[in-house]
Chains A and B, each alone.
Chain A
């Protein structure tokens, strides 16, 4: 039986906050589904299997070198695996020093 757990999201100071939801198809197979809010306030729904964060960002047209990711307030590497209960915040690295 297909059980859909809705993803949820928040937007904080113009940054993107990903809260991964999941589609549970069989106990041994989990798909991740998340909604992404970009700094321009547009939204995307992403359905994907478990992937490293950088691959997910690339698929959404975001260069991982242009953002910093945090999970539960802590910095995570750009190749960190995304978990189903994650809340991932993307901070855009603006040019200018």
Chain B
């Protein structure tokens, strides 16, 4: 633990003694820019290798929206790629057609992917489903995140399959994952709480991995700022309708007062996953009776949504 010799002295990096730029509240230590960047990249590399999220020979489709998390994810994966033999990265950008929001983030995504010289695929809701999210949601904004999540997931999975991906990486950070745990508890959704999407023993879907799952949102922001990669982009206009906003506010308050809260929530989830594995014996993966995609029920989430929205939601490029 370091700090200045008095309240007025600037804090120093625990590693090198240079002026600190970041305070890790849980560890109660200060880091300079260089060592914060190194710490984050090392943490991600440890996460993906120890948990076997990404293995040699993988083709990783990276969902890149242009926002801070997916941008940091792509930058970090590009940096650590030499440490993973025969790793291929493909960036996938999904355009939901959210007016006044998505245009800016896609431009940011294009710039970043171009600078990193990584293969880039674009897909859009209009091309896939015949309409933008704004049109699909008209009058149903309260369901925006649910609808968008299902359609984005399908779009990403389809694009990943087309480029031969063996893993699909998204930029969900520690805050996102902890919020999801809390939301699943609040909803009483223990099935989702115990689910691990990073593995698939049936081989019927591309495993989804979250390399930033132990990187806090504030660390992601600092990582980008320190490398002049921060983009001041707007927040999704539909975010205000979601339970996640309340969970976010609640957890941020708890995390400040009781540092490590989010990490402990994640550890609890993993403990539940582990203890549920033994119980999960008679729950085979089914095929959707309408589209044939793997699912846990008779209909997949996408086909259920089609019925609920009362629309055809044409599936192209499947």
Q: Which residues of A pack against B, CB within 8 Å?
A: 13-15, 50, 52, 63-66, 68, 70, 74-81, 83, 91, 93-97
The answer to whether B236 touches A96, judged by C-beta atoms less than 8 angstroms apart, is: yes
Contact of A68 among B10, B65, B225 (CB under 8 A): B225
Chain B residues near A77: list those with CB within 8 A. 11, 20-23, 30
B211 at the interface (CB under 8 A from A): no
Contact of A96 among B22, B67, B232 (CB under 8 A): B67
Chain B residues near A97: list those with CB within 8 A. 65, 67-71, 73, 170-173, 176, 220
The answer to whether A50 touches B8, judged by C-beta atoms less than 8 angstroms apart, is: yes
B-side interface size class: 35 or more
The answer for the CA separation of A94 and B244 in the assembled complex, in Å, is 13
Contact of B235 among A15, A52, A80, A94 (CB under 8 A): A94
The answer for the CA separation of A38 and B236 in the assembled complex, in Å, is 19
B117-141, CB < 8 A from A? none
The answer to whether B252 touches A91, judged by C-beta atoms less than 8 angstroms apart, is: no
16 further contact pairs, Cβ within 8 A, besides A95-B248, A97-B67, A97-B171: A63-B253, A65-B217, A68-B218, A70-B225, A77-B20, A81-B8, A93-B68, A93-B218, A93-B221, A94-B233, A95-B235, A95-B239, A96-B68, A96-B235, A97-B65, A97-B220
Residue of A nearest to B8 (CB): A81
Most buried by A among B226, B233, B256: B256
B255 at the interface (CB under 8 A from A): yes
Query: How near does chain B come to A94, taking the closest CB pair, in angstroms?
Result: 4
A79 and B23 in contact, given A97-B171, A97-B173 (Cβ under 8 angstroms): yes
B114 at the interface (CB under 8 A from A): no
27 A–B contacts, CB within 8 A, in A order: A50-B7, A65-B25, A65-B217, A65-B255, A70-B225, A76-B21, A77-B22, A78-B23, A78-B25, A79-B11, A79-B23, A83-B8, A91-B221, A91-B232, A93-B217, A93-B218, A94-B233, A94-B235, A95-B217, A95-B245, A96-B69, A96-B235, A97-B68, A97-B70, A97-B170, A97-B171, A97-B173
B55 at the interface (CB under 8 A from A): no
The answer for the CA separation of A94 and B9 in the assembled complex, in Å, is 30
The answer for the CA separation of A89 and B221 in the assembled complex, in Å, is 14
Chain A residues near B170: list those with CB within 8 A. 97
The list of the 10 closest CB pairs from A to B, nearest first, reads A97-B69, A77-B23, A94-B235, A97-B171, A75-B21, A97-B67, A93-B221, A96-B67, A97-B70, A63-B252
Most buried by A among B218, B222, B248: B218
Map CB proximity to A onto B8-31 as digits: 1 under 8 Å, 0 otherwise.
111100000000111101000010
The answer to whether A80 touches B11, judged by C-beta atoms less than 8 angstroms apart, is: yes
The answer for the CA separation of A15 and B170 in the assembled complex, in Å, is 28
Chain A residues near B235: list those with CB within 8 A. 94-96
The answer to whether B232 touches A13, judged by C-beta atoms less than 8 angstroms apart, is: yes
B234 at the interface (CB under 8 A from A): yes
B11-53, CB < 8 A from A? 11, 20-23, 25, 30, 33
Chain B residues near A93: list those with CB within 8 A. 68, 217-218, 221
The answer for the CA separation of A62 and B150 in the assembled complex, in Å, is 33
Chain B residues near A68: list those with CB within 8 A. 218, 221-222, 225
